[in-house]
Structure 1
């Protein structure tokens, strides 16, 4: 009985962990724990300690975020920077032409 219980747990627990992990990644836009998905948007701090995941934003926003990440990397490596918190909208759902 104990043997089959151990075998069952070894099969079930990893599967449960994989499903839970994927659901958590989807809810967090595939990014850090301080980002969450609200509808079609990712809300939260997206590049506090590392570069923003490339799949998090698309279109014009992706190239802007890439430039911000590059500048952040340069600032950190130079040792001359300050931390700033920005409260405001930082997403684009639709372009001006409706696309």
Structure 2
């Protein structure tokens, strides 16, 4: 996974996206975010290796949680144990993506 994301970043790193920014950088596909995604997916695989349904839901939770925005929150697969958005909804506090 890490190598694939680094390849995408290397091949498309200088191209401007629709928002006028490149794929890398702060809050985008930075080295830090690539490592964080890799560690999160590895942890999910270890945690749910004996239950395919939980592994499926956990993997989608990571993807949708990471790419949620204030305009389009996507936390259907998230767990309230770790999702700040779901905790803020429960506690009726503001949350910023």
TM bucket by the smaller chain? under 0.3
Structure of greater Rg: 1
Comparing both structures, which one devotes a greater share of its residues to helix? Answer: 2
Comparing both structures, which one devotes a greater share of its residues to strand? Answer: 1
Q: Structure 1 length as normaliser, TM-score?
A: 0.27
